[in-house]
Amino acid sequence: MLLANYLRQCGVDLDLQSVILRIAQGSVELCSRVDNNAAVTVGEENLSGDEQIKLDVLADAIFTGVLQGEKVVYALVSEEKDDQELVNEEGRFTVAFDPLDGSSLVAANFSVGSIFAIYEAKGAIGVTGADLAAGIYCLYGPKTMLVFAIGDKIASFTMHKGEYYLEKNDLRIADTTKYFAPGNLKAVNYNLNYGKLVDYWISHDYKLRYSGGMVPDIHHMLYKGDGVFAYPGMTDQPNGKLRLLYECIPMAKIVEAAGGFSTDGEQSILTKKVESLHQRTTFCVGSKAEVDRYIELQV
Ligand code: AHG
Ligand code: MN
Ligand code: MN
């Protein structure tokens, strides 16, 4: 079933349907425009201090372009832009996005993604996961896929000839797992509790599944039915690296809709209030028993 038909069949709010279909359209365009120069650096850094590559800039321009044409959008926030951009004063939604997650993996042709958080709010400051109308990611790998969570509904779609078709709507994450994805592994040298957690996983024969791209790393747990992904902080980077507004909240929403859990070590990522657009947060997400272990060990 086509994405548009599925959204209609599920009775998704019409305005939200339009925004999701714009995002799908953007991802189709992005796939058609990737070329040999994708990983060339452009000599600029974004606000977070990451070096931009041509594909970051292209992805940002494409998704900004499609979403600017959508009158139900109040404002846009992109990882690649310092400030929020007003689209329509009358709009209902603020769409925050990471146009290309995993830029540093593009040169090596690893899987990468795009992440979107559609908030029912006029502006991003002060929102929490409770304001999220939908969390979405696109995954560019052997297959191009789109996964969304709306309320407690989660569904995945595969792109074929420029259209997304329903693949699964029964994705679940079990409470226990033997897969682990330890982001920021060097932090074990400074954050000794993270070292204890990683030692536990290794000494109990857990299987490593880590690509360095959060979208494929989290997608792995949805498709295997269990797993845990962590990106903790350390002394000189207490809040880790990942951004709350447009990386962690939408990914946590998708995982929680599938029955998993999320935390920053103290509270669910979905209850954490956004205080600044590019705010970072520590993050652990996945099977309940492992998210609990992360909290208990005070990583
Ligand atoms: P981005 O490419 O948008 O900057 O984010 C990449 C993220 C995420 O996908 C991954 O889990 C993490 O950065 C990896 O970080 P390290 O650079 O610490 O490996
Ligand atoms: Mn990212
Ligand atoms: Mn990015």
Q: Identify whether 188 is part of a domain.
A: yes
Q: In terms of domains, do 185 and 243 share one?
A: yes
What pLDDT is attached to residue 134?
98
Q: Identify whether 231 is part of a domain.
A: yes
Q: Measure 52 CA to ligand 3 centroid, in angstroms.
A: 9
What pLDDT is attached to residue 266?
97
Q: In terms of domains, do 194 and 148 share one?
A: no
What pLDDT is attached to residue 45?
82
Q: In terms of domains, do 21 and 151 share one?
A: yes
In angstroms, the Cα distances linking 83 to 97, 115, 272 are 12, 18, 21
Specify the residue for token string 């859990």: 261
Q: In terms of domains, do 234 and 133 share one?
A: no
> In this structure, which ligand is nearest to the CA of 50?
1
What pLDDT is attached to residue 54?
94
What pLDDT is attached to residue 46?
82
217 is catalytic: no
Environment of ion ligand 3 (residues, CB < 5 A): 79, 98, 100-101
Mutate to test the pocket of ligand 1, among 101, 138, 140, 194 (most ligand atoms within 8 A of CB): 101
Q: In terms of domains, do 164 and 183 share one?
A: no
What pLDDT is attached to residue 68?
97
Residue located nearest, by CA, to atom 19 of ligand 1: 212
Q: What is the CATH number of the domain that holds 109?
A: 3.30.540.10
85 is catalytic: no
Among 110, 136, 168, identify where a domain stops. Answer: 168
100 is catalytic: yes
Range of the domain at 274: 179-296
Catalytic residue among 98, 217, 264, 290: 98
Q: What is the CATH number of the domain that holds 243?
A: 3.40.190.80
80 is catalytic: yes
What stretches of 10-53 show up as alpha helix (H) in DSSP? 14-33
Environment of ion ligand 2 (residues, CB < 5 A): 98, 101
Q: In terms of domains, do 150 and 189 share one?
A: no
Q: Measure 213 CA to ligand 1 centroid, in angstroms.
A: 6
What pLDDT is attached to residue 146?
99
- Neighbouring residues of 102: CB distance < 8 A, sequence distance ≥ 6: 110, 111, 112, 113, 212, 213, 214, 215, 216
Specify the residue for token string 């925004």: 19
Domain count for the chain: 2
What pLDDT is attached to residue 175?
98
Q: In terms of domains, do 141 and 281 share one?
A: no
Q: Measure 75 CA to ligand 2 centroid, in angstroms.
A: 20
Would residue 108 be called left, alpha or beta, if left means φ above 0 and alpha means ψ between -120 and 50 degrees?
alpha
Ligand 1 environment, Cβ below 6 A:
50, 79, 98, 101-103, 183-184, 212-214, 231, 241
Among 168, 188, 212, identify where a domain stops. Answer: 168
Q: Supply the DSSP symbol for 243.
A: B
Could you read off the pLDDT tens digit of each residue along the chain, which spans 299 residues?
Answer: 999 999 999 999 999 999 999 999 999 999 999 998 899 999 888 877 888 999 999 999 999 999 999 999 999 999 999 999 999 999 999 999 999 999 999 999 999 999 999 999 999 999 999 999 999 999 999 999 999 999 999 999 999 999 999 999 999 999 999 999 999 999 999 999 999 999 999 999 999 999 999 999 999 999 999 999 999 999 999 999 999 999 999 999 999 999 999 999 999 999 999 999 999 999 999 999 999 999 999 99
